[in-house]
Amino acid sequence: MKKVRYWIFAAVVFAGGWICGAICSSYQFKSISIAPFYSSSLTEIATDAIELHKGKSRKVLERKSAALPLLAKTYHEAFSNSMPKGKARYSCLWQVKRFYELSGEKIPEELKEVFNSIPKRPENCEKEGKENKNSG
């Protein structure tokens, strides 16, 4: 009977520790992983807003265009395979490809391989893009 109580107590302590660890990990994930993402995104948007307000739209376009190849390739290599299948996995890469199609800029060599490895953009994305282009 004493051994049974001991094992029950041990199981409760183990489960409690596991639950506490999961809660703490979740909190740490938010503060360590998600907060810097929002911080850098907010900084980027504020920087763009400042430059646009000063009438330096060309500078913003050049900076964004220069960042696209590395960001798209890194995303494709690091994250796209771990995301669920469907539009969410490829939507940002389709948007980068669309930038090159609309801008007429030459597609960098490192992105040609990425674009060749992703599926074709679905028809409904094509329609949405045309509607946005016509309304803007």
Which residue would you say has higher pLDDT here, 90 or 102?
102
- Reported as a pLDDT band with limits 50, 70 and 90, residue 136 is very low
Query: Sorting pLDDT into bands at 50, 70 and 90, what band is 131?
Result: low
Quote the pLDDT of residue 101. Answer: 92
Q: Is 55 left (phi over 0), alpha (psi -120 to 50) or beta?
A: left
Q: How confident is the model at residue 49 (pLDDT cuts 50, 70, 90)?
A: very high
The residue that leads in pLDDT, 23 or 73, is 73
Contacts of 121 (CB under 8 A, 6+ apart): 90, 94, 97, 98
CB 77, CB 113: distance < 8 Å:
no
Q: What pLDDT is attached to residue 4? A: 82
Give residue limits of the domains in the chain. 1-55, 56-136
pTM comes to 0.62
How far is residue 78's CA from residue 101's CA, in Å, rounded to a whole number? 24
